Amino acid sequence: MTEAIPIRPGQGGGILITGGAGFLGTNIADKFASLGEEVVIFDNLSRAHVRENLAWLTSRHPTKVSSIIGDVRDVAAVMQAVRGARAVIHLAAQVAVTTSVADPVSDFEINARGTLNVLEAVRKAAPEAPLLFASTNKVYGKLHGDDAFVRQGSRYVPRDPALACGFAEDTPLQLYSPYGCSKGCADQYVLDYGRVYGLRTAVLRMSCLYGPHQYGSEDQGWVAHFLIRARKGEPIAIYGDGYQVRDVLYVDDAVEAYRLGLTQMDRVAGQAFNLGGGPGNVLSLNELLAHIEEMDGEKPQVSMHDWRPGDQLWYVSDTGAFSQATGWRADVAVNDGLERLYRWVGDRFGGQPNEAVA
């Protein structure tokens, strides 16, 4: 039997997911609703395709999933949504570095002030509810200088073998770009509300997630974005040189991490954890293009552009701390995950998948 979320005296209600109609929120909501949990989606529905995600969720789980259309910048709406929640997963965010550079004030209001609004609502209206916050690896900034990495084959690799296991949580925070600053601010507030007010909070600093219900952009959700552009016959923009590396995590594994984070909150409370595919699930932009060519049967169109602020040449998560705390591990290998997403993209945008992955 799947472990349930522990309930403390006075708790009731459902699991509130802010930004719950987005890619990750949709998959988390689907999982918890399938387990019989009541799920409340709080989302302003401002991003493309989230209305489709919400319609899919409510049609699939008509008695388990409900929604509140609201914005985390609206204090009263957040308070209403949080009151009586059994648990809170805070995903609502402005997620693009380039957007944060163009409009840093809105980026701050959504990511930093919006998170503070959620924390205050939990403190006042649902203090027993565990809260998981989706942070980002961007809180670590550019990390080492560019000379710390060297091209090897189709990717960058670190010169120092000690980095082979990835970056752990003791990596110093070096906030870079308005997005990195706003998410880093929120990250620290979530931890501090645990220390100062006794809330049960934890932070997951995520690397690159991918999977169904993801409608990525050039700045976020790049794996799905590449596949969708290729499927539609549109050029793919590469910022930098394409050799930059990320560890990628299939969404089912990310959902399991959030489930374990809530069900084992007493083990993770007050801590920040890196969450990604780890050293075993590493992918460069060039390598993804090669995968697409193999699956699609033709080479994607590519356009090259300058590096963006704070772009990391190489980022791989050391997920050992979260694994040790909860028993979690990434089970879906890159090739398998890409094939699953390729099929979903084919179903969503038309055409038949290549027989090689059918």
SS3 37: coil
C-alpha–C-alpha distance, residues 31 and 299, integer Å: 35
Note the pLDDT of residue 355.
39
C-alpha–C-alpha distance, residues 157 and 150, integer Å: 6
Catalytic residues: 179
| Helices and strands (H, E) in the chain, number of each type | 13, 15
Q: What is the pLDDT of residues 60-71, one digit of tens each?
A: 999 999 999 999
C-alpha–C-alpha distance, residues 251 and 281, integer Å: 13
pTM score over 0.85: yes
Note the pLDDT of residue 309.
74
Find the DSSP H helices in 249-301. Answer: 251-263, 265-268, 285-296
Kindly report which listed range (7-21, 161-175, 319-333) carries the lowest average pLDDT score: 7-21
Note the pLDDT of residue 9.
41
Q: What is the pLDDT of residues 102-156, one digit of tens each?
A: 999 999 999 999 999 999 999 999 999 999 999 999 999 888 777 889 999 999 9
Q: What is the pLDDT of residues 12-64, one digit of tens each?
A: 579 999 999 999 999 999 999 999 999 999 999 998 899 999 999 999 999 99
In terms of C-beta density within 10 A (0-12 exposed, 13-18 middle, 19 or more buried), how is residue 46 classed?
A: exposed
Q: What is the pLDDT of residues 226-284, one digit of tens each?
A: 999 999 999 999 999 999 999 999 999 999 999 999 999 999 999 999 999 999 999 99
Note the pLDDT of residue 351.
53
| DSSP at 9 | T
C-alpha–C-alpha distance, residues 219 and 101, integer Å: 12
Higher pLDDT, 1 or 180: 180
pLDDT of 349 above 60: yes
CB-CB neighbours of 215 under 10 Å = 18
SS3 143: coil
Q: Which residues of 194-212 are buried (b: 16+ CB within 10 A; e: fewer)?
A: beeeebbbbbbbbbbbbbb
Note the pLDDT of residue 5.
62
User: Domains (ranges, CATH) in the chain?
Assistant: 15-348 (3.40.50.720)
Nearest to 42 by CA among 25, 27, 55: 25
63: CB partners within 8 A, 6+ apart: none
